[in-house]
Amino acid sequence: MSKKSTTTGKTAKKITTGGVAYAETADAITITIGGRQLANLRRIAAAMNSVGWCDSDNTALTVLAGFVVGGDLYFLGQPTKKYHSIVLDGVGTIADNIISAIDTGYDDGTPEDRERKAALSAAFAKAGLL
């Protein structure tokens, strides 16, 4: 957007798309997630918790922070890198990205790494996420 907001402490702009609401003030951007999008994040967390080698403390918030927003927000500070966003409705995309990005505790491409990622993929498929 080319127009700069000059309001302070008041909501400058609000956008709602599906179960996600965005609000921007002079000091912060707030994202509120509900509805189907929140349910999808919870389904992803539950599937991850069902896999023995994954930590069992995954929540909608940790999935959002660690795999959806965390990686993408990093790129906002990297002008030479291509920014990539993930749509919360695309649970298959999020699940695929988690499988690709997750640290299994083994080097990428090793038999152990592939085995752990296959187990996670199977859990996502069983939960109807892939």
For the chain, 130 residues long, give each residue's pLDDT as a single digit of tens.
333 334 445 656 888 776 778 888 888 888 888 888 888 889 999 999 999 999 899 999 888 888 876 555 544 444 443 434 444 446 677 888 889 889 999 999 999 999 999 999 999 999 988 8
Six-digit token string for 9 = 């402490």
Indicate the DSSP class of residue 64: I
On whether the CB atoms of residues 63 and 101 are closer than 8 A, the answer is: no
On whether the CB atoms of residues 83 and 75 are closer than 8 A, the answer is: yes
Pairing of strands 13-17, 20-24: antiparallel
Tell me the one-letter amino acid at 63: V
Residue 21: beta bridge partners? Answer: 16, 32
